[in-house]
Chains A and B, each alone.
Chain A
Amino acid sequence: MESLNDADVQLARLKKWLDREQRARAESEAIAEKALSELYTKKKEIELLQLITVAANEASTVEQAMRTALDGVCAHTRWPVGHVHLKDSAGVLVSTNLWHLDTPERYKAFQSATEAVTFAPSAGLPGRVLQQRKPAWIVDVTKDANFPRSKAAQDTGLRAGFAFPVLVGEEVAAVMEFFSDEPAEPDDAVLTIMAHVGSQLGRVIERRRSEDALKLASQHKSQFLANMSHELRTPLNAIIGITEMLQEDARDANRDSDSEPLGRVVRAARHLLAVINDILDLSKIEAGKMDLQVGSFAIAPVVQDVVNTVGTLAAKNQNVLKLQCPPEIGSMCADQTRIRQALLNLVSNAAKFTENGTITVSARRAFADATEWIVISVADTGIGLTAEQQGRLFQDFVQADASTTRKYGGTGLGLAISRRFCQMMGGDIAVESEPGRGSTFTIRLPAEGVSPQPPELPKAPSKGPSKSPPPMARTAVPHRAPLILVIDDDDSVREVTTHFLTREGFVVTTASGGQEGLRLARELQPDAITLDIAMPDLDGWTVLAAIKGDPATAAIPVILMTIVDEKNRGYSLGAADYMVKPVEWSGLARVLRNICKSAGRGVLVVDDDDMMRSGLRRALHEDGWKVSEAENGRVALARLAEQRPDVIVVDLLMPEMDGFELLDALRSNAAWRDIPVLVLTAKDLTDDDRVRLNVGIERVLQKRDRQELLREVLDVLDRCIERRRGESVAVS
C-alpha cells in the first residue's frame, strides 16, 4: 500500500509539474505572438515612414508628395477616405482636390460637403488641428458636437476620423484628415506616426518655398545681368564700330599718327568686351542658363583654325607653334564654339606665357572607361606653374598670382570658364606643369558627346532649303549684289553696319524701327535682314515673328544681331543665324555671303571621274551651291542648254569631248562666253596647253590632295562670285 501511495504522490507531482510547464509554454507563446505582432506593426510603420520620406525627398511637387502620403496612410490604417486642406493667406483651411477615396462614388456627398466649406481655426476636425498644431482624433464624427460635416458623414457612413498638421516650423501649412467606416478608439501609435508624416511633408513645403525664393532671386539676378550686359555692350558697340571706321579712314589717308592710338582704343575696348563676356559667361554657367549647341563636326579644321588665330600672338614672343592633328582624327559630337573657345584660351595662354619657346598643339583619340575620348593637349616650354599655383588655377577669378595679372593681363576667368564648358560636355581640362620647364594643358572630351538636356530645337532651321519656295524676284536675277536690310534703332549701329557691309560688296538699306523694317522687307524683298531685338516701337521678336508669319517675307533669311543672348529663342522663331553685338564684321559678312549664295547659285561640274564629281558635289552643295553634273564635254553642252550655270568646273582629259573642246565651244557662244570657268586637271600642262587655256579661265588647279583641292575649289568659286558682286556694285 505504501508503494502504491508513493506512486500516487509521484504521479500527482508529475501532473502538477506538467501543468506548470504547459502554463509556462502558453505564456511564452503569448509573449512571442505579442512581440511578433508588435514587430509587424513597427515594420508597417517603418514602411510608411520610408514611403513618406522617399516621397518627401524625390517628389517633384508638394502635391505629389501629399498624394503619396494620402495613399500611404490610407493603406497603413486601412481607412477608406483621406483628404488634404491647405491653409490660405488669410489663415483659413481651404479644401484641395487631393483626395484618397476607396470608392469615389460612395463618398461623393461627403466630398462635396467638404469642398463647399472652409475651416477657420478651431472649426471642425481640421480647424481643431490648425489651432492646436497637433493631431486630433474623433471616435465617432456623427456624434461629435464640433463636426459641421456630420450629416454628410452620416449619409455616406463615415464614423471615426483623425487629422494631423503638416508643420513648417511652428506654422501649420496644411492639415490631412482621414475617416473610417467604423467608430474607432484613438490609437496613440497611429497618431505618433502621423506626427512624423506631418513633419516630413512640412519639410517638402519648406524646401519648395526656399526653392521658389531661390528661383526668384536667380531670375532677378539673370534679369539684372541681361540688363547690365545690354547697358555695357551698347556703348562699347558704338565705341568699337566708330573707332574702327575712324581708324580705317586714317589708314586710307596714311595718317599713321592717328591710326595707331585709334588701334589702341579698339584693342582696349575689345579687351573690355572680352572681360564683360567672360563675366557674363561665368554667371550664366553658374545660373545653369548656358545652353550648349551640340553637333557633329570635323576636329582638324577647328584645331587648325585656333592655331592660325593664335599665330600672330605666338610669333610676337618668338614662339614656334607646332600642330599635330591629322585629318584622320575625324569628327566629334560637342559644342564646336565652346571647344574652340576653350582651346583658344589654352593656346593663347601658352603663347602669352612662353617666350622663345615651342608650343605644341596635338589632338588624338583615346579609349578609356568604355568611352572614346578626344584628347587635345597644348604643351608649352614657358614659365610653368608650381604645384600650389596649379591647385588654384581653375578657381574663378584666380590667376597664378596677382602679379601675373599685372604683367600678362586677362581676367583670370578664361580657364575656369573653359573648364566648365568641358565639364558640361562630359569632359575636363587637366594640367601638368613644372616651374621653368613649361606646362601641358589637356582637354579630354567624349567623342560621342553627352546630351545634358535634350536640345530645345535643331539649330538654324531656315538654313538650307526652306519649306516655302523663295520668291522668284530674288532668284531670277543672278549676279546682282545682294541687298541687305538692316533694322536697328541705334543710329551708330546702322551707320557702322552700312559702312562695313558696303565695303564687303553688299547693298544696304536701313530701317530705324520694327514697323518701317517690316514695310521695307515686304517692298524691297531683300536677300537678307539683320534685325536688332531691343527696339522701342516693336521689339525684334515681334518683327521676326511677323516676317516669318507673312508669306511675302517668310523666306527672307533673318540674322538676329543683338545684345540679348537668347539663341534658342531666336532659332525657334526661325532666325537663320544669331550674332551677339558687337558683331565681328568678317563673321557677319561670311554668314551673309553664305545665305545669299544659297539663294540658288548654280555650278556645273564636268568630269569623267565619278569619285571626283561626287566629292565636289557634296562639298559644293554644303557650301550652298546648286550643282549640276556632266561626265564629258558633250553632256556638259546639253546641260548648259538646259540651264545657264553661274560657274563651271571642268576637267581637261575626258572621253568623247575633252575640256579643251568644251572651252572652245563656250567661247564661241555669246550666251556662255562670260561664265567663269575653273579648270581642274591631273595633266602636266604644256606651253601649248597654257596658251589654249589662257583666255577666260578663272584658275587652273592641279589634282593632287583631294581635301585640299576641294577647299581650293570652294575658295576660288567664292572669290569669283564676290568679284562679280563687286562689279555689279560698281555699276549699280
Chain B
Amino acid sequence: MKGVVFNLLEAVIRRDYGDDMWETLLDAAGSHGAYSSLGNYPDDELMKLVGAASSALKMPPDDVVRWFGRNALPLLAEKHPHFFASHKSTRPFLLTLNDVIHAEVRKLYPGADVPVFTYDTSSPEVLLMHYRSPRKLCALAEGFIEATAGYYAEEVSLDQPECMKRGDDRCVLRVSVRKPKG
C-alpha cells in the first residue's frame, strides 16, 4: 500500500479525533508511523491500523474504512482538482477511474497497485461497478463514491448485491445518482 494512503488516514484521524488518537492507533497497531507518501508499506499495516481504529472508535472495520474513504476524498479533490473539474457529475467521473484517474495515480506514485474496475452501463440510471481485489477494500470504494457524489452535490444510493466479504468472487457496487430536487 502506498504511503500516501497512510498519510491520508493520519490526516483525517488527527482532524476528527485529535493527535492523541493517531498516537494511540500507532501504538495499538505496533507501527513506527513514519510514512513517506512515495514509499510502499505492507497492506497488513493498514489493516492493523483499521483494526485499532475499529476498537478505539467502537465501529466495525468496514465502517472505519468507509468513513476514511468519505473523508479522504475531499482532501484528494483539494490536492488534484483537475481530475474532478473536467466532469460535472458523479457517473462520468466514475467511468474515467481506470483510464484517467488511476493512470495518473500510477504516474504520481510509481508502483501503485490500483484496482481495475469493470462497468455495466446497460442502465442509464444505475451504474454497476465490478471490483475484484485481494485487499477487499470495497468499503473504501463506497466511501470514495459517496464523497464524490457529495463533491458534485448529487444524491447517491449505493449497495452491493455481491461482495467478496460475503463469499462472492467479486464485489458489485450498485450506484444510482440523482440531482437533488429543488
Contact with A along B81-100 (1 / 0, CB 8 A): 00000000000000000000
B32 and A31 contacting across the interface, CB-CB below 8 Å:
no
A28 and B32 contacting across the interface, CB-CB below 8 Å:
no
A387 to B38 alpha-carbon distance, docked (Å): 66
Given A13-B19, A13-B23, are A20 and B32 neighbors across the interface (CB < 8 Å)?
A: yes
A617 to B39 alpha-carbon distance, docked (Å): 94
For B31, the closest partner residue in chain A by CB is: A20
Chain A residues positioned under 8 Å from B33 (CB to CB): 20
A23 to B35 alpha-carbon distance, docked (Å): 8
Which residues of A (415-456) have their CB < 8 Å from a CB of B? none
Chain A residues positioned under 8 Å from B38 (CB to CB): 28, 31-32
B23 and A21 contacting across the interface, CB-CB below 8 Å:
no
Which residue of B20, B32, B36 contacts A25 across the interface (Cβ within 8 Å)? B36
Chain B residues positioned under 8 Å from A27 (CB to CB): 34, 36, 39
Contact with A along B14-39 (1 / 0, CB 8 A): 00000110010000000011111111
A535 to B3 alpha-carbon distance, docked (Å): 91
A335 to B160 alpha-carbon distance, docked (Å): 84
Chain A residues positioned under 8 Å from B35 (CB to CB): 24
A25 to B3 alpha-carbon distance, docked (Å): 12
- Does A251 belong to the interface (CB within 8 Å)? no
Contact with B along A196-213 (1 / 0, CB 8 A): 000000000000000000
Summed over the interface, the residue pairs from A and B with CB atoms below 8 Å come to a total of 30
Chain B residues positioned under 8 Å from A25 (CB to CB): 36
For B33, the closest partner residue in chain A by CB is: A20
For B20, the closest partner residue in chain A by CB is: A13
Which residue of A17, A23, A35 contacts B32 across the interface (Cβ within 8 Å)? A23
B36 and A28 contacting across the interface, CB-CB below 8 Å:
yes
Given A28-B39, A31-B39, are A23 and B23 neighbors across the interface (CB < 8 Å)?
A: no
Chain A interface size, under 10 / 10 to 19 / 20 to 34 / 35 or more = 10 to 19
A20 to B35 alpha-carbon distance, docked (Å): 8
Which residues of A (221-255) have their CB < 8 Å from a CB of B? none
For A28, the closest partner residue in chain B by CB is: B36
Task: With both chains docked as a complex, state the minimum distance between the C-beta of B8 and any C-beta of chain A, in angstroms.
Answer: 14
A701 to B87 alpha-carbon distance, docked (Å): 95
Chain B residues positioned under 8 Å from A32 (CB to CB): 38
Which residues of B (99-115) have their CB < 8 Å from a CB of A? 110
Task: With both chains docked as a complex, state the minimum distance between the C-beta of B101 and any C-beta of chain A, in angstroms.
Answer: 22
A16 to B36 alpha-carbon distance, docked (Å): 16
A25 to B37 alpha-carbon distance, docked (Å): 10
Chain B residues positioned under 8 Å from A19 (CB to CB): 34
A40 to B18 alpha-carbon distance, docked (Å): 43
Task: With both chains docked as a complex, state the minimum distance between the C-beta of B19 and any C-beta of chain A, in angstroms.
Answer: 7
For B27, the closest partner residue in chain A by CB is: A16
**Most B-side CB within 10 Å, residue of A19, A24, A32:** A24
Contact with B along A1-26 (1 / 0, CB 8 A): 00000000000010011011101110
Task: With both chains docked as a complex, state the minimum distance between the C-beta of A128 and any C-beta of chain B, in angstroms.
Answer: 36
Chain A residues positioned under 8 Å from B110 (CB to CB): 35
Task: With both chains docked as a complex, state the minimum distance between the C-beta of B144 and any C-beta of chain A, in angstroms.
Answer: 25
A24 and B36 contacting across the interface, CB-CB below 8 Å:
yes
For A31, the closest partner residue in chain B by CB is: B38
A24 to B34 alpha-carbon distance, docked (Å): 5
A24 to B35 alpha-carbon distance, docked (Å): 5
A519 to B23 alpha-carbon distance, docked (Å): 117
Q: 11 A-B contacts, Cβ less than 8 Å apart? A: A13-B20, A16-B23, A19-B34, A21-B34, A24-B3, A24-B35, A24-B36, A25-B36, A27-B36, A28-B39, A31-B38
Given contacts A17-B19, A24-B36, A31-B38, list 8 more A-B pairs with CB under 8 A. A19-B34, A20-B33, A21-B34, A23-B34, A24-B39, A27-B36, A28-B37, A28-B39
- Using CB atoms and an 8 Å cutoff, list the residues of chain B in contact with chain A: 3, 19-20, 23, 32-39, 110
Top 5 closest pairs, chain A to chain B, by CB: A23-B34, A28-B36, A27-B36, A24-B34, A31-B38
- Using CB atoms and an 8 Å cutoff, list the residues of chain A in contact with chain B: 13, 16-17, 19-21, 23-25, 27-28, 31-32, 35
